[in-house]
Amino acid sequence: MIPFLIPAKGHHIMSRTFAYCRVSTSEQTTENQIMAIRQAGYDIPDSRVISETVSGGVQAMKRKEFANMVTNKLEGKDKDKPGDKLVVLKLDRLGRDNIDVQQTILMLMEKGIDVVSLDLPVSNLASAEGKLMLQMFSAFAEFEKSRIIERTKEGLERAKAEGKKLGRPVATDTLKRVQEAKAKGLSQSKAVLELGLSLPTIKRNWNVKKEA
């Protein structure tokens, strides 16, 4: 009689591993990414490979398949079992920019999910070395955020200094400018160059009588 094998107390339950693969256009395929992940030693079944076609400019949690995976498939660690592991070929699969990638990784780690990106020297971003690397990412993300704010501010100040009106000019302002150009004796084609407006816009406002 063959005895039943009962796992010893504290027997280690293996965590599940998922892969996330993304391409930006329908002409591309995720097959190469899946192959590279498996060749790196992650024997992930097809049922745990999440693939989608979405622009890299979309935030991670606004991507349908990625958000569904995080919300409904990945399970964090608890007292009885370790958390799932998420493997990506490159870090840029996890967000649209440095800031989004950083926020996505922190969110996954808070859920108890291990994150592996094969383009990094650290195999698991939840490890001590990985957390150190995350601190570096955080510094870069803060730098990137401050530069975006700075560039926006500089652009607004430059536009203001050059006398540009911010926002789209109102129609009455366009009419006034076209009528002034006409009064100066400019032709419609010269008014296009002078005012930076399209010819249809010039024509539309050329013979309009100003209200008294």
| Residue pair 34/42 in contact by the 8 Å Cβ criterion | no
From the list 15, 24, 127, 187, the catalytic residue is 24
Q: Is 113 helix (H, G, I), strand (E, B) or coil?
A: coil
Alpha carbon distance 137, 42 (integer Å): 25
Distance of alpha carbon 69 from alpha carbon 88, whole angstroms: 13
Q: Which amino acid is at 35?
A: M
Residue 83: CB atoms within 10 A of its CB come to 19
At 46 the three-state DSSP class reads helix
Count other Cβ atoms within 10 Å, centred on residue 38.
14
24 counts as catalytic: yes
- H/E stretch holding 35 reads helix 31-39
Bridge partners of residue 19, in order along the sequence: 49, 87
Which residue in the block uniquely carries the two structure tokens 């950083």? 102
Residue 114: alpha-carbon gap to chain centroid? 21
Q: What is the CA radius of gyration of the chain?
A: 28
Any idea which residues carry the catalytic annotation? 24
